[in-house]
Amino acid sequence: MRLSLCTITFRHHLLSLEDIARWAAASDFQGVELWGAHARNMQHMTDRNADWMAAFGLSVPMLSDYLPFDEDLTSLRHATSNLCRLAGRWGARKVRTFAGKSASRDTSPEARWRLSARLKDACMMAQDQGCQMLVETHPGTLADTLASTQRLLEEVDHPALGINFDTLHVWEGGADPVAAHRALLPHIRHYHLKNVRSRAD
């Protein structure tokens, strides 16, 4: 397993990507997962790319962002294309998103169908640009329970779709992380791990 840290961890800190990369390399990480907002903010810095990161002995495995599935199709396609373009600049072959902004139990059949169709459209675009589209297991989305996540995979039914398995979020959703991992394993392409001691955290 290759270990990376995510720049979203430092979103409330005044640190440059160079500071983060140096710390990651010194701490024996193999990569830096870029938050989409950070990647967009560096678009004008033409020297910031996969080669720049490789100089630290690091790679960028994934860009993590939030695609606008609730907006019009043109906006979604533009956002998807831009995210995949940025991923290519950093040598990342995976992009992560959330499956909407509503919990599965609060989503109507019509809204679920629409989001699934748009996610499939985004997967097709990602595949065309050499990327995998990963949905994160996360509360308040269509991947908030094991059953809903499995259903979403079946509804979208696209080879570019995979799962970013966040163990904490699976646990928060009430599922047994070990059982959920076993069930989703054929689709898991990336993991998010966090330090947690109890639900009070």
Among 13, 38, 78, 138, the one annotated catalytic = 138
Write out the chain in H/E/C secondary structure: CCCEEEHHHHCCCCCCHHHHHHHHHHCCCCEEEEEHHHHHHCCCCCCCCHHHHHCCCCECCEEECCCCCCCCHHHHHHHHHHHHHHHHHCCCCEEEECCCCCCHHHCCHHHHHHHHHHHHHHHHHHHHCCCEEEEECCCCCCCCCHHHHHHHHHHHCCCCEEEEEEHHHHHHCCCCHHHHHHHHHHHEEEEECCCCCCCCC
C-alpha separations of 78 from 31, 121, 158, 160 in Å: 27, 12, 20, 18
Closest residue by Cα to residue 112 from 156, 71, 81, 82: 156
12 is catalytic: no
Distance (Å, rounded) from C-alpha 100 to C-alpha 115?
Answer: 7
Residues known to be catalytic: 138
